[in-house]
Amino acid sequence: MELPVEFKERMKEMLDGEYPEFIKSYDMPRTYGLRVNTLKISPEEFENICPFSIQKIPWVKNGYFYREQDMPSKHPYYFAGLYYLQEPSAMTPASRLPVYPGEKVLDLCAAPGGKATELAALLQGEGLLVANEISASRAKALLKNLELTGAVNTFITNEKPGNLSGIFEEYFDKILVDAPCSGEGMFRKEPEVAAVWEAGRPSYFAQLQKNILDQAVKMLRPGGMMLYSTCTFSKEENEGTISALLQAHPQMQICDMIPWAGFSAGIPQWGNGDPGLAKSVRIWPHKMQGEGHFMALLKKKGEEKRETVLRKKTSERGGAFPKETGKVLEQFWTHIKGRRFHSGLEIRGDKVYKVPGFERQVRGIKFLRNGLMMGELKKNRFEPSQPFAMALKREEFDSVLNMRANDVRVEKYLKGETIEVASGETARKEGWQLVCVDGFSLGWGKLVNGVLKNKYLNAWRKN
């Protein structure tokens, strides 16, 4: 492929004897990857049902290579949210941030959602994930991907980092900053990025990265950890940016991360010479089956601070719904067997949400979604939402239409068509049904006289 001349000259200076092998990697085909969504299925279970050829990505426990011709985005399992399609190297940062259920986590530059969806899976529905994206259009893609994943404990924001840091000072246990960058590591995957590259781009992005990290440090609690990553080779944006961070914030220290044989150590001389920079990791396309990446794991020194939990008053099943809507909601909630959906409910206008608990008041922040949108109140009825369906497990709803992946009705359902249902296929003969493929939820349908009226979200329907 055609690479910018100035880029090649700089890489030759950086890599010296490795440069010929590096350049040769651009003549090799790119790799394709999917990451199993452990909110819904384990890697081992997915291996047993996967209908196409996959090969384990050895440095990501739930990552797999797949063949381009298999087109997993067309399979019903993709629509069930069983996996996320992601370049193999790009899976690595979220796998190296040690996130545990119950923690408060921030993905500061989250769109389109590859890393945020994995962070949500690591939380397993406990704690809080704040996923932020400054671009309103990209934030919409982030929202859809988190909804498809089945995440319930999310706050999806559309803000500048500085506006968040005023609310969330020393709040988060873990922060991931997959920073905007010059994108040099993606040239093979996205040749259009190479076409617009200019020699001044690394300097521009390095300054942007420093500003973002300054805000991220403010939001990290003492004792908390932050992972910084880019998809570029630039010294200035990688070791240089981390050098500037450590100099500006002496309370931050660089840490070792889970190793892998193919990882290359950061080069201290490409920053300020701090030996600790060797703990950062570079992924080179001539050394691993993936594109270029950089990662650094950092920890904030100091004693952990605890706060009094402040929660908005929310409705709970059992008489706490507002009087004017209580009967409608109570009637639908009798079908929900998943106890996790029976508390933490909030009604805003005609919409019902399950909201996460906060330890701060979050008024004034621009956001797309606070929690899980459960559905809408309409005249004398409740219409459950597509995100609610994606969050439900088969056993959490009392009547399910479960079809095999090769059932022709699955394709019809995903295209928005009505489908016929045989007697006895569902527990109830009429009313709302959770539609599943091989036991994994796809959406809703309403059964009337043996015909399922399709309630699959229009914007998600298969072309």
Query: Is 193 within 8 Å of 187 (Cβ atoms)?
Result: yes
245 exposed, middle or buried (CB, 10 Å; 0-12, 13-18, 19+)? buried
Cα separations (Å) of 239 from 6, 245, 416?
Answer: 20, 10, 50
For residue 24, the surrounding DSSP H or E stretch is helix 19-24
Amino acid at the residue 60: V
Torsion of CA 170, 174, 175, 176, to 10 degrees: 170
327 exposed, middle or buried (CB, 10 Å; 0-12, 13-18, 19+)? exposed
Three-state DSSP at 439 gives coil
Instruction: Give the orientation angle of helix 114-123 with respect to helix 136-149, to 10 degrees.
Output: 40
- Exposure letters 29-42 (e unless 16+ CB within 10 A, then b): ebbbbbbbbbbbbe
User: Which of these, 392, 372, 382, lies nearest to 436 by C-alpha position?
Assistant: 392
Q: Where are the alpha helices (DSSP H) in 153-200?
A: 161-165, 191-196
Which token pair is 443? 């959406």
Cis peptide before 93 (omega within 30 of 0): no
Distance, CA of 193 to CA of 34 (rounded, Å): 22
Beta strands in 82-216 (DSSP E): 83-85, 104-107, 128-132, 154-157, 172-178
Is 231 annotated in the active site? yes
Phi-psi label, residue 300: left if phi above 0, alpha if psi -120 to 50, beta otherwise = beta
Q: Which of 50, 181, 231, 436 is catalytic?
A: 231
Provide the residue count of the chain. 463
Three-state DSSP at 443 gives strand
Distance, CA of 358 to CA of 198 (rounded, Å): 43
Which token pair is 309? 């939990």
Tokens 């892998």 belong to: 260
Tokens 């890393």 belong to: 115
**Residues with active-site annotation:** 231
